[in-house]
Amino acid sequence: MKKFEVTDADIGSRLDKIVVAQLGGLGRAGVKKLFEQGRVRVLRAGHTRPQKASKGETASQGDVIEVDFEEAASGGTVPDADAPLSIVLERDDLVVIDKPAGQPSAPIDPGERGTVANAVLARYPETKAIGFSAREPGLVHRLDTDTSGLLLVARTLLAFETLSRALKEGRIDKRYHLLCKGGDLPESGTIEIPLAPHPKDRRRVYACVHPRDVARYSPRPAITHYVRRLACGDLWLVEARAAKASRHQIRAHFAAIGHPLAGDALYGGPEVDGLTRHALHAASIVWGGDASVPAFHAISPLPDDIRRIVES
């Protein structure tokens, strides 16, 4: 069971959006199922018993939200041949998937369908015994539900161990395309700001810019390199590289330097017509190869929602 109090920043927000933010990579689809199954309850201020919550309800001061979450987290993935699966590269040892925005990387609820992991298991049953957990068959890494782009999946244990270790050591080149707030962003640069869990809002990570924050929160190192590519009205199209990208790293880094991602309401990004999510796309993955896993290079073009903004 997960419990969390409504913060001042959450007052007036929809309950489903708060739960999505609190549960990290669960995503909107997974949270929707929790609401549908009655596994989200809210204890309103002044009441003694929690009530079943509706996703459209809004939060008030003093509310406590309860989510029956642990039971869901313990379940494994079920195959789902109907789940979307766009394959960019397929080999005997690995596959690279092009994930659309809105599709979760992996399920959270027993029996949940529609995620990348469900589709992978249906097409590549050998991945069942590979991965960080039973919910992530073969997945070498994950993407936020609203981040589109490339996901790397191993089909053999050797490939999984090799690539997951290489990713942890920063030896796999992963590049992203993003739209961020325009203005005085330098043509290229490196953002080296350590990140920690936000002390007041678990939906976000906290960029520890000031030395006192580094001492107080013991953040993890985080480095993002970027190159400005194109001016798009009031926005910049940027290519970013984060070898060891952690949760929300690119989003938090660009917000910390005053250029939050378009559509990223959580980090103060500007609203853009036609964009219903943060404008972040995992555009390429390059592995130089070694004796265990041969080299590969996979790319994904800009998705339609970001491409239309760039072209306009």
- Report, as residue numbers or ranges, the catalytic residues: 144
Structure tokens at 206: 């906290």
Beta-strand pair 188-192/148-154: unpaired
In angstroms, the CA 300 to CA 279 distance is 15
Strands in 2-5's sheet, in edge-to-edge order, are 2-5, 64-67, 40-43, 51-52
| 67/3 Cα distance (integer angstroms) | 6
Question: For the chain, how are helix, strand and coil distributed in percent, rounded to 5?
Answer: 25, 25, 45
Give the Cα-Cα-Cα angle 282, 285, 287 (nearest 5 degrees): 160
- Tell me which residue has tokens 């972040």: 280
What is the torsion angle, in degrees rounded to the nearest 10, for the CA atoms of residue 180, residue 242, residue 248 and residue 163? Answer: 140
Half-sphere exposure of 210 (CA within 13 A, CB side): 3
Residue type, 240: A
Rounded CA gap, 255 and 201, in Å? 16
Map tokens 């001061």 to a residue.
Answer: 61
Rg of the chain (C-alpha set): 20
Phi, psi of 6 (to 5 degrees): -70, 125
CA distance 200 to 190: 27
